[in-house]
């Protein structure tokens, strides 16, 4: 049951399901494992690692819906996103589109959204501090 920030959670659910499920059904996960991860040194475990990454995203969605294991799946998801930044997106710059292509900004935003759900009291305190000035 979604307890806090239902609109933000719903957005993350849609994004992570779309990103995960499409790759599971169009061979994208296997291609990512074989054509990228295996090529950069993860062979022969690239496909297994790719599937673990995608399944971790589905687990994160489960956690967003049920509020179970949210801290654990959030940490795993953030680590995957940071690894994606370091391995793929950082060399492309900041922008996903416009001023560049395939950059860091979307992963950065996802991380901030996840942290906002994990620590809503920090968000609420910051809003209270601003409005009480």
pLDDT higher at 95 or 123:
95
CA separation, residue 78 to residues 83, 100, 109, 125, 127 (Å) = 8, 23, 11, 23, 24
pLDDT tens for each residue of 57-92? 999 999 999 999 999 999 999 999 999 999 999 999
* Angstrom distance (rounded) from CA 110 to CA 120: 15
Q: How many domains does the chain have?
A: 1
Total-model pTM = 0.88
How far apart, in whole angstroms, are the C-alpha atoms of residue 104 and residue 24?
24
- DSSP assignment of 29-51 equals HHHIIIIIIIIIIITTSHHHHHH
What are 92's two structure tokens?
A: 């492309």
pLDDT score at 121? 79
Tell me the average pLDDT across 99-109: 93
Domain of 86, in residue numbers: 6-128
Write the pLDDT tens digit of every residue in 6-61. Answer: 999 999 999 999 999 999 999 999 999 999 999 999 999 999 999 999 999 999 99
Q: Is residue 113 part of a domain?
A: yes
With 80 as the cut, is the pLDDT of residue 125 above it?
A: no
Name the band, by pLDDT with cuts 50, 70 and 90, for residue 100. confident
**In a domain? residue 69:** yes
User: Alpha helices, DSSP H only, in the chain?
Assistant: 6-25, 28-31, 46-66, 70-84, 105-118, 120-131
| Residue 133 belongs to a domain | no
Residue 16 lies in a domain: yes
CB 37 within 8 A of CB 23: no
The answer to whether residue 1 is domain-embedded is no
């Amino acid at each position: 049951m979604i307890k806090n920030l239902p609109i933000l959670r719903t957005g993350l659910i849609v994004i992570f399901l779309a990103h995960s499920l499409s790759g599971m059904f169009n061979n994208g996960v296997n291609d990512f494992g074989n054509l990228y991860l295996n090529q950069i040194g993860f062979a022969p475990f690239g496909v297994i690692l790719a599937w673990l990454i995608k399944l971790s995203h589905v687990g994160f969605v489960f956690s967003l819906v049920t509020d179970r294991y949210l801290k654990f799946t959030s940490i795993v998801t953030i680590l995957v996103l940071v690894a994606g930044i370091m391995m793929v997106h950082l060399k492309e710059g900041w922008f996903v589109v416009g001023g560049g292509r395939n950059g860091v900004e979307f992963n950065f935003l996802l991380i901030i959204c996840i942290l906002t759900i994990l620590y809503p009291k920090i968000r609420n305190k910051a809003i209270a501090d601003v409005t009480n000035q």
